[in-house]
Amino acid sequence: MKILVSAGPTREPIDAVRFLSNRSTGRMGIAVARAAAEAGHEVALVLGPVAIEPPDGVRVVRVETALEMLAALRAELPAADALVMAAAVADFRPAAPAARKLHKGEMPAAIQLVRNPDILAGLRPLKGNRIFCGFAAETDDVLASAARKLARKGLDLIVANDVTAPGAGFAVDTNVVTVLRPGAAPERWPLLSKIDVARRLVALLETLATERPAP
Ligand code: CTP
């Protein structure tokens, strides 16, 4: 299969040196890219700014902002059989980023924000019979919000996790996830390393690919 993965945070500039972002390290999405490549798939990884190295054998497209991530994924999606959207897209960006560094005396007391597009929603018209997998990192009401996102974003599956649970969340190498699919009971996976979650996810994508209708 040709698997397209997004990972990491996005950075939304305030000025030439400051940005808004989030705590994503890219570990989970990079693990998915690694597992997919190890399983023999052709992998493109659209990667926000992260400190860790992407795996060998994966084609990496580096992006910074949500708008750049959307453009890169839109360009890559036509060639893909599956999209795994593990990136933590910043939902807002400063409305008028300054091209140069603002001195502290020039900083406004409040920064006006505008909504970033929902990337998965934006890619939906291009979905065809591609498999779309989302991630939902939640802190409360985990399964209910993940189920709402599964439906609202028209996904084939969503990997939900409670980022406050022991062994889950940002900057740790393990995860505890529940996989939701339309019309199926939620499937809770045990505490696993992120690479093992990724391997199981890739195996699930392979199964779903054999079940999907011909284009
Ligand atoms: N996502 C996306 N574009 C965005 C925000 C999120 O494509 N602007 C994707 C994420 O990569 C993830 C899924 O949508 O696969 C769920 O992300 P989440 O941040 O939980 O969803 P939101 O729609 O932002 O939901 P909310 O802020 O209401 O919790």
Catalytic residues: 22
Q: From the CA of 145, how far away is ligand 1's center (Å)? A: 11
Give all domains of the chain, ordered by start, each with its CATH number: 2-211 (3.40.50.10300)
Residue 177 buriedness (CB in 10 A; 0-12 / 13-18 / 19+): buried
Query: How much is the average pLDDT of 41-67?
Result: 97
Q: From the CA of 106, how far away is ligand 1's center (Å)? A: 33
Residue 214 has pLDDT above 80, yes or no: no
How many whole angstroms separate alpha carbon 128 and alpha carbon 60? Answer: 24
Q: How high does pLDDT run on average in the chain?
A: 95
Residue 164 has pLDDT above 70, yes or no: yes
pLDDT band at residue 172 using 50, 70 and 90 as cut-offs: confident
93 CB within 6 A, ligand 1: no
Per residue in 127-138, pLDDT (tens digit) is: 999 999 999 988
154 CB within 6 A, ligand 1: no
3-state secondary structure of 121: helix
Residue minimizing CA distance to atom 17 of ligand 1: 136
**Any residues with CB less than 8 A from the CB of 138 and at least 6 apart, and which?**
145, 146, 160, 161, 162, 163
How many whole angstroms separate alpha carbon 48 and alpha carbon 147? Answer: 26
Least confident residue range of 9-23, 60-74, 166-180 = 166-180
Q: What is the pTM of this model?
A: 0.95
193 is written with which tokens?
Answer: 């390393």
